[in-house]
Structure 1
Amino acid sequence: MSVRVGILGATGAVGQRLIQLLDPHPEFEIAALTASESSEGKAYRDAAKWRVDSPIPDEVADTTVAATDPDAVPDDVDLLFSSLPSSVGAEVEPAFCEAGYVMSSNSSNGRMDNDIPLVIPEVNADHLDLLEVQRDERGWDGAMVKNPNCSTITFVPTLAALAEYGLERVHVATLQAVSGAGYDGVTSMEIIDNAIPYIGSEEDKLENESRKLLGEFDGASLSHDGVDVAASCNRIPTIDGHLENVWVEAEDDLTPDAAAEAMREYPSLDLRSSPEQLIHVFEEPDRPQPRMDRTLGDGMSIAAGGLRESTFGLQYNCLAHNTIRGAAGASVLNGELLLEEGYL
């Protein structure tokens, strides 16, 4: 029996990618789509400017878009996926949880709240138990789990693989694709023949979300990891795939060979959307590259390469598909974890 799901913010870039991933999903059935007032009441095919690299599924195309309001979503929807802008999500997501809906959200609002689990299932699935604290503190019948920022998801699994060596300091410089800004986020005149060395609030997200993800939950509260993280974020003219340069200083000796082995052996999960190998490590010094490597593991793998010793400890590059592993796919994976752990 499939789980009936809804998508909040279904007409946007991440909403469209959610539809692409959820339509063939054997465990989830798309039962509701919501968007802004300008789209309410329209057939989805008329409301969305479809830009995903596959056709709109026929049943989805004929679905009437509802208002983003708990009263407009059927009661028998078991799980909501949210891709709302954070300003909208901050207002309406709690209302859905108060109304009893369980939500897997990609929106940035609330990620750092003490009682909202921020989860990459292969890294910190145990943090999902924070939902019990959340329900007690907020009085919700529903619940909310968040996935991290797309750039955070790219490098944190590699850090988790190296955590046994005692992470002390991490520096990361990102080269982020334009799709991470949404369809209207960066104009062609801004980005063609250019690179933009600033992405608003992005550096704070990498620095703070990473420490929460690597932290420990003792059953009552979550403590953040003590590693120092410094980030510099840059927008470059690639369409999809965030490439990141990482420098790691560890308490114990961390050689490139040991790091490569730790990353290769870092386990994936049996969730449907988990890739067979979570971190693919290249031996070639010029890999990974966005155009060539962003779809590894159907876009759900992390790619790493260029491992070498440097003045600042271990240096390497990593890459992830920012709208699949970094956004829609991450939300779907958290939805699968919610189902496996009995929250639906």
Structure 2
Amino acid sequence: MKNLEVGIIGGAGYTAGELIRLLLNHPETNINFVYSTSNAGNKLYKVHQDLIGATEISFTNEINADIDVLFLCLGHGNSTSFLEKNSFSENTKIIDLSNDFRLIADKNFNGKEFVYGLPEMNKEEIKTAKHIANPGCFATALQLAILPLAANHLLNNDIHINAVTGATGAGTSLSETTHFTYRDNNFSHYKAFNHQHLGEINQTVNLLQDRFDSEINFMPNRGNFSRGIFATTYTKFDGSIDAAKKMYKEYYKDAAFTFVSDTDIHMKQVVNTNKCIIGLEKHGNKLLITSTIDNLLKGASGTAIQNMNLMYGFEETLGLNLKANYF
């Protein structure tokens, strides 16, 4: 079978850069075009400088409507407007990395039904889907921390989450809080208790545990590093630590990239990989769940490739066996 012809819309951002890197090394894909009106005619490596020597592809302002897979790497709210203005073949499968179609209220758009693309929860639905709404980065790390509890109807008290993300989580556009002089040797919180990813997190919990009526208290933080997310989550839990570990390991026993560790975890274990690693501790009547991912890979482009693999019946890990930047 010939390689899949793939197109990328919004090719100049961090997630697109990682997506291009993964697709260039994926044995079943060929990059047909990378669309960027502001960079049309420039070589990809002029923007994504890590790609020098890897490809001679240039950005384009032209679109091929007959591709097999379309990745949308646009800013939030822009995928809907793009799809309103551009049409593709009935055979084209779409994977959207924005938040436009993640909520049930938004999943049907212009005759297209988007499946929420969290493989650890929706693997079977993803396999038969034509359109995927890729999860958010924080949403991925936090949902993977609590999915086993929700699936077993054990989220009966408020959930408290403190999580920190690297500078790449804010995108390539410069602002006061992404400038080096702000981030360096600094730490701050933002969007306290009302981060946009709470919508999809609450949605998932309510799908798994339909009588969930507690609060999810989420405090997002900016870290002074480039990439990665580290989250600490705790809630009341009556069982033992052994019972918790058994439940989590059973839930993730068939997960290709999510692992439960018996030792303390840290972020360097996952940076540059598609892994999520989870740690568990019991403190009094509270269960502490730590989870860590690379925000650009497991939190975005890596899961997008994972979803593509599932949609086409490839090995789920194909093109994603990456080693962490541990040293």
Aligned with 2:225 (options 234, 238, 246): 238
Whichever structure has more helix as a proportion of its residues is 1
The equivalent residue for 1:159 is 146
What secondary structure does 1:319 align onto? strand
Change in CA separation of 1:95 and 1:167 when aligned onto 2, cut-off 3 Å: farther
Aligned with 1:174 (options 159, 163, 166): 163
The equivalent residue for 1:137 is none
Q: Deviations over 1:78-125 (max 9, x none)?
A: 001121112432310344466543211111223221433222112222
Q: Deviations over 1:267-287 (max 9, x none)?
A: 3658xxx43xx223142xxx3
Q: Is the 8 A contact 1:216 1:225 kept in 2?
A: no
Aligned with 1:262 (options 242, 247, 250): 247
Matched, 1:80 2:51: no
Q: Is the 8 A contact 2:127 2:313 kept in 1?
A: no
Change in CA separation of 1:268 and 1:227 when aligned onto 2, cut-off 3 Å: farther
The equivalent residue for 2:54 is 58
The equivalent residue for 1:138 is none
What secondary structure does 1:117 align onto? strand
What secondary structure does 2:308 align onto? helix
Q: Is the 8 A contact 2:73 2:96 kept in 1?
A: yes
The equivalent residue for 2:270 is 294
Distance 1:199 1:314 in 2: 25
The equivalent residue for 1:206 is 197
Aligned with 2:260 (options 280, 289, 298): 280
What secondary structure does 1:93 align onto? helix
The equivalent residue for 1:188 is 180
Stretches of structure 2 lacking an aligned partner (at least 5 in a row): 109-113, 315-327
Q: CA RMSD in A?
A: 2.9
Q: Is the 8 A contact 2:11 2:17 kept in 1?
A: yes
Q: Is the 8 A contact 2:126 2:307 kept in 1?
A: no
Q: Percent identity?
A: 19
How far has the Cα of 1:161 moved from its partner? 2.4
The equivalent residue for 1:91 is 81
- Once the two structures are superposed, the pairs formed by residues 130-149 of structure 1 within 5 Å of their partners are 143-149=130-136
What secondary structure does 1:212 align onto? helix
What secondary structure does 2:34 align onto? strand
Q: Which AA in structure 1 matches 2:269?
A: D
Q: Which AA in structure 2 matches 1:119?
A: G
Distance 2:19 2:155 in 1: 34
Q: Is the 8 A contact 1:104 1:332 kept in 2?
A: no
Distance 2:247 2:225 in 1: 29
Paired residues, number:
299
Distance 1:74 1:225 in 2: 46
TM-score (normalizing by structure 2): 0.80
TM-score (normalizing by structure 1): 0.77
